[in-house]
Amino acid sequence: MLSSDLLRIKIGRGKVMPIFCTSDFGNGTDYELANKLIMFFTNAQKNKQCKGDLLKKIFYLESEYDYKLVRGLLALLERRSVFGQLESPSTIATPASIRKKLFEESSKQGFALSDSQRRSIIQKIANQMHIQSYDVETMMWGDKDENLLLTKFDAINPKDLILWYNLSLLQTLLFKCTRLEFYVKGGLYWKQVLRDVKRYGLMYNLEYNSGDDDDGDDSIKCILEGPFSLFKMTDRYGTSMAKLLPSIVGTPTWKVNGSITKNTDSGQKIYSFELSDENTRGFLRSRMEPTFNNGGSILDDGYVYDSAIEAAFAKRFYQHFVPDDKFGWKMSREPDPLIAGGKAMIPDFLFERFGRKVYFEIVGFWTQDYLDRKAAKLKVLFDGDDKNQKGVDLLVAVNSELACSQIETISKDKIFTFKKEVSIKPILEHLRKIDDEIIKEKIADTELVLDENNLDVISIKQIAQKHAIPDDATVKIVDINYPNQYMVVGSYFISKEKTAIVNDSISGISKFVEACSVMALNEIPDSCHADLLSKLGYDVIWNDLDPNNATISKK
């Protein structure tokens, strides 16, 4: 975005419109100006020209072109530039050190009232610092902004510069926004935009409407509170809203409309604006080439979680559930919207297992109006009043410092509070209840027959994966279908016939490793050895860390 003093707009009949650069690439005056500025920067970098001389040449253009446009393009090109000091011929000779010595010597000799006196002082300092007198004169003010040299310029073509300027201009307009509504069409696009809305911490309200076009696309209307509607952090919030713009205009079909405040002679007035992909086609796009700000990228954000609270919760979740477990609980961020009375809410997390979905929302610090809207949507979801979202399983964690009683009292079973971090315990308890329901369903629906070629030692996980059922359900189904025939040892079924043979074979053995050898001969997996000994009534006594010194004894 640009500074507010460089905003170019036209106003009429209560509406405001940014003055974009024309889309007549290659022929228009805007393209001509962009090309001239790029050439100025390119030549300045090639010839190591100082910033002051470069700016003088550019400021001459202000009499020929709109000065706000000249300054706006200049600001963008400066972000792609690196200015530095003239390389010193001596490590001790810096602009500051040269000035210090010159002023000290001048104070000793008195003011230099003639060129010869001036040259004498300069030559003396040059001799002291072992540099040429010319270097003293050229370096003494080398650290001043206008004397810095253009050492690096990331070149850009005029068309991309104009597109970048247009986007920045619209971002600058949004910085003064009191309210913004935007529409995005197409299911592949709105999810990313809404993810960015939450990632930038914007206060929003969503409406999800079925498309009435022949292609059947859907659209989402998102209402954002503008920075000028808040009491605090307007600069930071306005910047976040401006950052969202590339996500919106990067979609094929979009529309934004809103209102901004503007100071006039008669006081502050509110003006409306409206833009879409149709009336900006050809001269507004979202993605620009990498730019430089003293050598650093200024376009990448790199956020993953909306807050440290969400990141910490995700970490605790994966301490209980393995992400690679094919049939375990899976967690995903910001799933498809939940519809509540024509409104849409995107929870922070979704937990899925065997087709069962549990949504989870963390309500942090927001304005009271936002909390009221959130409470209304949650009530619709919990009451099941919306025909599109009946049976939604939603859990909500509310920051206890919000004192938001209208949320906390909606459902005592599904809403809990937190202070510094969200407890994983209520989530685990809820998921375990669902696990019990899943197990009951799988027991009733699954026909399980064991492989007759291997009935002594059977992997529980292999059977579970073969029938796409939980491990716990596998254990219960085998217990029902094959009563009193198997013992669960670790992650295996071992027939009681096999365990009886092992029990007889290790009778009289006192060494742990010898007992393990007997079990290995009977094809008992290594991971089951200690557990099987315990189930057969043996204690393993570890005398030290060496398994060869371990013994077993009957309990």
Classify domain 175-288 at the CATH class level: alpha beta
- pLDDT at residue 57, rounded to an integer: 92
pTM exceeds cut of 0.75: no
Write the pLDDT tens digit of every residue in 529-547.
999 999 999 999 998 889 8
- pLDDT at residue 202, rounded to an integer: 83
What tokens does 11 get?
């106003």
Distance from C-alpha of 51 to C-alpha of 30, rounded to nearest angstrom: 23
What tokens does 71 get?
């300054």
In the chain, where the domains are located? 86-142, 175-288, 308-438, 446-554
Classify domain 308-438 at the CATH class level: alpha beta
Q: Output phi, psi for 77, to 5 deg.
A: -70, -30
Distance from C-alpha of 170 to C-alpha of 189, rounded to nearest angstrom: 21
- pLDDT at residue 303, rounded to an integer: 35
Q: How many CB atoms lie within 10 A of CB 492?
A: 21
Write the pLDDT tens digit of every residue in 169-196.
999 988 878 888 888 876 557 778 887 8
CA distance to 95, 256, 275, 276, per residue, from 183 (Å): 55, 6, 11, 9
- pLDDT at residue 286, rounded to an integer: 54
What number is the average pLDDT over the span 102-123?
76
Write the pLDDT tens digit of every residue in 313-342.
888 898 888 877 888 899 988 777 776 665
Distance from C-alpha of 65 to C-alpha of 81, rounded to nearest angstrom: 23
Q: Output phi, psi for 358, to 5 deg.
A: -125, 120
Distance from C-alpha of 76 to C-alpha of 44, rounded to nearest angstrom: 16
Band (518; pLDDT cuts 50, 70, 90): very high
Strand partners, 204: 224
- pLDDT at residue 61, rounded to an integer: 93
What tokens does 146 get?
């206008």
Q: Is 259 helix (H, G, I), strand (E, B) or coil?
A: strand
Q: Output phi, psi for 208, to 5 deg.
A: -115, 120
Strand partners, 418: 399
Write the pLDDT tens digit of every residue in 256-282.
988 888 877 777 888 899 998 888 877
Q: Is 194 helix (H, G, I), strand (E, B) or coil?
A: helix
Q: b/e string for 516-525 if b means 16 or more Cβ within 10 A?
A: bebbeebebb
Write the pLDDT tens digit of every residue in 342-387.
566 778 889 999 989 999 988 775 656 666 677 777 777 766 654 4
Band (501; pLDDT cuts 50, 70, 90): very high
| Angle, helices 425-445/471-481, rounded to nearest 10 degrees | 40
H helices present in 217-280, as ranges: 234-249
**Does residue 396 or residue 24 have the better pLDDT?**
396
What order of strands is seen across the sheet that includes strand 486-489?
Answer: 457-459, 492-495, 486-489
What number is the average pLDDT over the span 188-207?
78
Q: Is the dihedral of CA 527, 533, 535, 539 positive or negative?
A: negative
Band (27; pLDDT cuts 50, 70, 90): low
> Which residues have C-beta within 8 Å of that of residue 282, sequence separation ≥ 6?
23
Asked if residues 129 and 90 have their Cβ atoms less than 8 Å apart, the reply is yes
Q: Residue 207 pLDDT more than 90?
A: no
Distance from C-alpha of 368 to C-alpha of 421, rounded to nearest angstrom: 22
- pLDDT at residue 411, rounded to an integer: 60
Write the pLDDT tens digit of every residue in 284-320.
765 443 344 444 332 233 335 667 888 888 888 988 8
- pLDDT at residue 189, rounded to an integer: 74
What tokens does 271 get?
């003006």
Residue type, 303: Y
Q: Output phi, psi for 10, to 5 deg.
A: -125, 140
- pLDDT at residue 103, rounded to an integer: 79
Q: Output phi, psi for 447, to 5 deg.
A: -100, 115
Eight-class DSSP state of 86: P
What tokens does 512 get?
């742990």
What tokens does 340 get?
């509540």
Q: Residue 498 pLDDT more than 90?
A: yes
Write the pLDDT tens digit of every residue in 51-72.
888 999 999 999 899 999 999 9
Write the pLDDT tens digit of every residue in 220-270.
678 887 666 554 445 677 788 888 888 888 888 889 988 888 877 777 888
Q: Residue 75 pLDDT more than 70?
A: yes
Distance from C-alpha of 471 to C-alpha of 464, rounded to nearest angstrom: 6
DSSP letter string over 100-142?
HHHHHHHHHH----SHHHHHHHHHHHHHHHTS-HHHHHHHTTT
Q: Is the dihedral of CA 132, 137, 142, 147 positive or negative?
A: negative
Eight-class DSSP state of 90: S
